[in-house]
């Protein structure tokens, strides 16, 4: 990801989650005890957490789905611009 698209992604994520208080969980605690901001997690990590939650029958934090949706939207836009 280029620096320009990374900045655009950050801007769009922040714009879409500016009402972050509406989300009950904005962080994820790893099995090692590290607390990560969901908006700063790698896409692959979010995807793996959601899959793990599904396997365990527990709900993944709603913010994870929102971040993935925004990143997919950005990815689609950058693919169109690259054409």
The predicted-structure confidence for 39-55, as pLDDT tens digits, reads as follows: 899 999 999 999 999 99
**In angstroms, rounded to a whole number, what is the distance separating the alpha carbons of residues 45 and 71?**
13
What confidence tens digit (pLDDT) does each residue in 9-37 have? 777 776 666 655 566 788 999 999 999 99
Domain ranges of the chain: 3-82
Residue closest to 66 by CA, chosen among 20, 31, 34, 30? 20
Count of CB atoms situated within 10 Å of the CB of 50 = 16
pLDDT band at 76 (very low <50, low <70, confident <90, very high): confident
Count of CB atoms situated within 10 Å of the CB of 78 = 15
**Alpha carbon of 29 to those of 9, 40, 46: distances in Å?**
23, 13, 12
């Amino acid at each position: 990801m280029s620096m320009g698209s990374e900045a655009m992604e950050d801007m769009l994520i922040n714009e879409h989650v500016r009402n972050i208080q509406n989300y009950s969980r904005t962080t994820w605690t790893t099995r090692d005890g590290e607390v990560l901001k969901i908006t700063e997690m790698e896409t692959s990590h979010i995807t793996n957490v959601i899959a793990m939650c599904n396997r365990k029958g527990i709900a993944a934090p709603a913010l994870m789905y929102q971040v993935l949706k925004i990143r997919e939207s950005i990815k689609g836009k950058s693919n169109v611009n690259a054409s």
